[in-house]
Amino acid sequence: MVEFRIDRRSGVATYLQIVQQTKQALRLGLLEPGDRLPTAREVVEATAINPNTVLKAYRELEREGLVEARRGLGTFVTRTLGGPAADTPLRAELADWLDRARKAGLEQDDITALFTSVLEERADNHKGEGA
Amino acid sequence: MTATAIEANGLGLGYGRRGHRALDGCSFRVPAGRVCALAGPNGAGKSSLLALAAGLLRPTGGTLRVLDGIPSDARGSTSRAEGLRGRIAYVAQDKPLYPQLTIGETLRLGHELNRGRWDAALAERIVEEGGGLDPAARIRSLSGGQRTRVALALALAKRPELMLLDEPMADLDPLARHRLTAALMTEAADHGTTIVISSHILSELEATCDYVLLLDGGRVRLAGETEDLISAHTLLTGPVADLPDHTVVESRTTGRQLTALVRGSSAVGGGWQTAQPSLEELLMAHLRSPDAPPMLTPSAEVATA
Amino acid sequence: MSTLTTSRLRLRPRGVTWLVAHQHRRILTTAAVLLVATAVVTSGLRIAYEATPYDDTATGLFTNSAYRGGIAAVADFFAHAALLLPLLVAAVVAGPMVARELESGTYKLVWTQSVDPARWFAAKVALPAVAVGVVTIGLIGLFRVLWGPAAGDYRLSWHERQVFLVLGPTLLAYGLLAVTVGALTGLLVRRTVVAMSAAGLATGTAMAAMFALSEYLWAPASATSGDPDSVQIVPGEFVVDTGLLTASGERLPDSVCFVQQYAACYTEHGVVGRWWDYHPDSHLWPLQLVESGIVLALAAAVAYAAFRIFRSRHA
C-alpha cells in the first residue's frame, strides 16, 4: 500500500502530486500490478484533502492506462512503469563515462552538477521539439 | 438528495435604522456534494450568509433556497428530525454551547433533539479521538479547541446533508485542525455531504475546497469551481508596458516590473511571463481591487427567471 | 463510553419540551418546593387551629384566639408576598429563560439542532405558563384555607388589594400576564439583567394601573342614610365613593361642604343625608372575574405581539 504525502505549499496541484507519487511508487517497485490503491476515503482520512481530488488523480492514472477502477472493489494497478532493465547497454555506457569523469578529477558533486545541467538543457530542447 | 445545495437570488440582509446591509443582492449557486470555501474580509457578510442558510434569520430581500426548501420557513418536527432543519448542520463562530452542561449531557441534547438522525457512535468517536475528553467535564471548563471539537461532534453526528461552518478551525492548533479537516473530508467522501466553510486561512483552502465563494462588502465577487476559476485567470509579469487586451483584475508596478492578474487564459503576446495564480493569489487580488467585475462559473450562475 | 448517550426514554417529554424543562429544572424544582412548603405550613396551622376549637376563660387559655391571631399574621404575609410573585415570574422568564439564550448565542445551537425556532419560543412561554398556573391555583387554594378562620381581621378584608389578589383567579391572570410580558421583554431586550428589570417594572406598572381601576369594574350597589354625618353603615366596608345627598336626590361630593360652618352649608345646599356606592360581599366574584378577564386579554395581546415580532425577525 502506498502512502501519499501532500505538500500544500509546493505550488503543484494536489491531484498531480498524487499522480506523480503513484508513478514514483510504480517505478520503485512499491506498487505492482494487482495491488489495490488506497480508497479515496483512506487517502482523505490521512491527508485531509478533498475526496474529489483523489478521484481526479485516479481518473488521470486510469487515462494513462496505469490503473483500472473496478466497481465495488477499488482501483487496481494494471501495469508497471517501464523502468530501464538492469542490463540495458545504456547502463554500461554510463558506468564507462563515470570512470572517465573520475579519472579527469571530478568529484561526486561536480558530476551531479554537470549531469543535471546537461539534463535540463536537453530537456528544454526536447520540450521545444515535442510540444 | 437534491442537486443544488444553496441557491440565492438577489439575497439581501439589512439591519439597523440606517439600513446597513450585511448582504446586498447576492446571486449564486452551490451545487450539492461540494466542499465550498466561503472567503472574504471581516464584515463581508460571510457569517450573515451562513446564518441565513441555517434558518436563523429572515432575509430582508431576495430569495434563498437551501436543499429544496426555504430555511427560515422550515419547521422542525417534535419527534423526528426529518424536516429541512434536520438536514442542515450549522456551527456558529463562537461555537455556542450550554456552559453548565457536561459533554455527555450536551451529546445527549443532540440525541434528544435529532431523533431519528443521530449517530451516537460517531459523536463519541470525535469527542474521544486523540486524548479523549472526559464526558463529565463541564463545557465552561473546556479550552477553545475542545469546545470546537464538541461543537463539530454535534454537527457531524446529526448526519446532515449540508454543513455550514463559520470559521470552525480558528481556535485549533495545526494537529487538531488537520484531524478535524480529515474528519470533515471523510464525511464528504462517505456521504457526499455538502460542506461550506468560511475561513481566513486561505492557504489551506486550496487542498480541501473544490468550490469557492468570495464575498466582499456584502456582494459576490467570485463563485464557482476553484479549478475553473484559477484556470480562467493568468498571472503576468514583465517590464512595464501596456497590458494585452484582457480584463485586468489587478496590476501592480514595482520599479520597472509590472505584475498583473488578468482574466483569460488564451496566449498572451511576447515579453510576458505567464503563470497560473494560486487560489490565495486569486482571492487576494480580487479583494485588493473592489472594482473588478465579479465572475461566476456556469455552475454557480443562477438562472434569473 | 456508551453510557454517554443511552436512551432510556419511555413516557417523557420529547424534543424541545424536554430541552426547556431540563434546562430550567432548578427553577421548576424551587417553585415546587416552595409550593409544598407553603402547603405544609398552611395546612399545619389550619389543622392546629381546628384541633383547639375553644377558648377556656376559666383557665385563661385563649388558644383559639391565639391561633387566629397567628393565622392572620401568616395570611397577611402570604398576601403581601403574593403581590411580588408576578414581578418575580416576569423577571425569571425575561432573563434566564429568554434574554440569556439570545445574549449568549446558545439559541443558535438549539435552532440548528433541528428545533423549530417558533416551537422553541412557544415552549419558553408555555412551560412557565403551565408552572405558573399550577402554582397560582395552588396558592389561591391554600390562602383560602388560611383565610377562613381569620377573615374578620382588619388586615384581611377582601377589599384589601393584596388579599383580593390571592382570593381568586386574579393571581393566576397576573401570573400569566407576567409570563407573556417577560417573554416579550426578553425578546426585545437581549441583555439578561436589563431584561429582568424591565420586565419586572412593566409588570408592576400594569398591576398598579389595574389596581387603580379595579373597584370600578363592576357596578356598585347604593345606599343612603338620613344623616349626612353618619359613619359608614354599609356592609363589608368596601366603599367606592361617598358624598352628600340633597332632598331632591341629587348627589353632591363631600368637598362642597368641607368647611367650618358645615351646618349652614348643609342648609344652603339642601343637604339631607348621605349616599354611598359600595361593593357588598356578593360582588367579590364578579369583580374577580372581570379583572381576571381583562388581565388575561392583555396577556393574550402581549403574547400575540411577542410571536409576531419573533416570526418577523427569525423564523
Task: Give the chain B residue whose CA is nearest to the CA of A48.
Answer: B182
pLDDT the model gives residue C307: 94
Give yes or no: residues A71 and A30 share one domain: yes
Write out chain A residues lying below 8 Å of B178, CB-based: 48
Give yes or no: residues A101 and A72 share one domain: no
In a domain, A36, yes or no: yes
pLDDT the model gives residue C96: 92
Over its C-alpha atoms, chain A yields an Rg (Å, rounded) of 19
Give pLDDT tens digits for C45-66.
888 887 776 666 666 566 677 7
Domain coverage including residue A43: 14-77
Instruction: Give yes or no for a contact between B69 and B75, defined as CB atoms under 8 angstroms apart.
Output: no
Write out chain B residues lying below 8 Å of C126, CB-based: none
Which regions in chain A score pLDDT beneath 50?
A: 130-131
pLDDT the model gives residue A24: 86
Asked whether the beta carbons of residue A49 and residue B185 sit closer than 8 angstroms, the reply is yes
B140 Rama sector, left if φ>0, alpha if ψ -120 to 50, beta otherwise: alpha
Asked whether the beta carbons of residue C114 and residue B81 sit closer than 8 angstroms, the reply is yes
In a domain, A48, yes or no: yes
User: Closest Cα partner for B36 from B225, B176, B186?
Assistant: B225
pLDDT the model gives residue C140: 93
Alpha-carbon gap, residue B152 to B134, rounded angstroms? 16
Instruction: Give yes or no for a contact between C88 and C34, defined as CB atoms under 8 angstroms apart.
Output: no
Comparison of pLDDT for C3 and B6, the residue scoring more: B6
Give pLDDT tens digits for A58-73.
999 888 888 888 888 8
Tell me the percentage of chain C whose pLDDT exceeds 90: 41
User: Closest Cα partner for B10 from B61, B51, B50, B53?
Assistant: B61
User: Closest Cα partner for C146 from C301, C227, C231, C39?
Assistant: C39
N residues, chain C: 315
CATH code assigned at A28: 1.10.10.10
Is residue B178 within 8 angstroms of chain A, CB to CB?
A: yes
Asked whether the beta carbons of residue B207 and residue A49 sit closer than 8 angstroms, the reply is yes
> Can you tell me the mean pLDDT for B120-140?
81
Cell numbers placing B205: 483552502
Characterize C107-134 residue by residue with b for buried, 16 or more Cβ atoms within 10 angstroms of its Cβ, and e for exposed: bbbbbbbbbbbbbbbbbbbebbbebbee
pLDDT of residue C173 exceeding 80, the answer is yes
Cell numbers placing B207: 487542498
Asked whether the beta carbons of residue A46 and residue B185 sit closer than 8 angstroms, the reply is no
Give pLDDT tens digits for B145-171.
888 889 989 999 988 999 999 998 887
In total, how many domains does chain A have?
2
In a domain, A83, yes or no: no
Instruction: Give yes or no for a contact between C230 and C287, defined as CB atoms under 8 angstroms apart.
Output: no
Over its C-alpha atoms, chain B yields an Rg (Å, rounded) of 21
DSSP secondary structure of B180-241: HHHHHHHHHHHH--EEEEE-S-HHHHHHH-SEEEEEETTEEEEEEEHHHHHHTEEEEEEES-
Q: Kindly indicate the confidence band of residue B196, based on its pLDDT and cuts at 50, 70 and 90.
A: very high
Instruction: Give yes or no for a contact between C137 and C260, defined as CB atoms under 8 angstroms apart.
Output: no
Give pLDDT tens digits for B235-292.
888 877 777 777 788 888 888 888 888 887 666 666 777 888 888 888 888 888 888 8
In a domain, A3, yes or no: no
Cβ-in-10-Å burial (0-12, 13-18, 19+) of C256 comes to: middle
Name residue, grid cell 434536520.
B86
User: Closest Cα partner for B44 from B219, B209, B294?
Assistant: B219
Write out chain B residues lying below 8 Å of C18, CB-based: 112
First-to-final CA distance of chain A = 35
**Residues facing B65 on adjacent strands:** B7
In a domain, A2, yes or no: no
Tell me the percentage of chain B whose pLDDT exceeds 90: 13
Does the complex come out with an ipTM higher than 0.90?
A: no
In a domain, A50, yes or no: yes
- In chain B, alpha helices (H): 46-53, 84-87, 103-113, 120-128, 144-157, 174-191, 202-208, 226-231, 279-288
Q: Where are the domains of chain C?
A: 17-216+285-314, 221-282
In a domain, A110, yes or no: yes
pLDDT of residue C91 exceeding 90, the answer is yes
In a domain, A121, yes or no: yes
Residues 196 through 225 of chain B touching chain A, CB cutoff 8 Å:
203-204, 206-210
Considering A39, A58, A77, which residue would you say is the last residue of a domain? A77
Alpha-carbon gap, residue B118 to B157, rounded angstroms? 6
The whole-model pTM stands at 0.78
B249 Rama sector, left if φ>0, alpha if ψ -120 to 50, beta otherwise: alpha
Cβ-in-10-Å burial (0-12, 13-18, 19+) of C248 comes to: exposed
pLDDT the model gives residue C2: 40
pLDDT of residue B68 exceeding 50, the answer is yes
Q: Kindly indicate the confidence band of residue C145, based on its pLDDT and cuts at 50, 70 and 90.
A: confident
Write out chain A residues lying below 8 Å of B182, CB-based: 44-48
Asked whether the beta carbons of residue B185 and residue A48 sit closer than 8 angstroms, the reply is yes
Write out chain A residues lying below 8 Å of B210, CB-based: 50, 52-53
pLDDT of residue C137 exceeding 90, the answer is yes
Evaluate whether chains C and A are touching (3 or more beta carbon pairs less than 8 Å apart): no
Give yes or no: residues A55 and A94 share one domain: no
Distance of alpha carbon B290 from its chain centroid, rounded? 20
Residues 1 through 20 of chain C touching chain B, CB cutoff 8 Å:
1-5, 7, 14-19
Asked whether the beta carbons of residue C15 and residue B58 sit closer than 8 angstroms, the reply is no
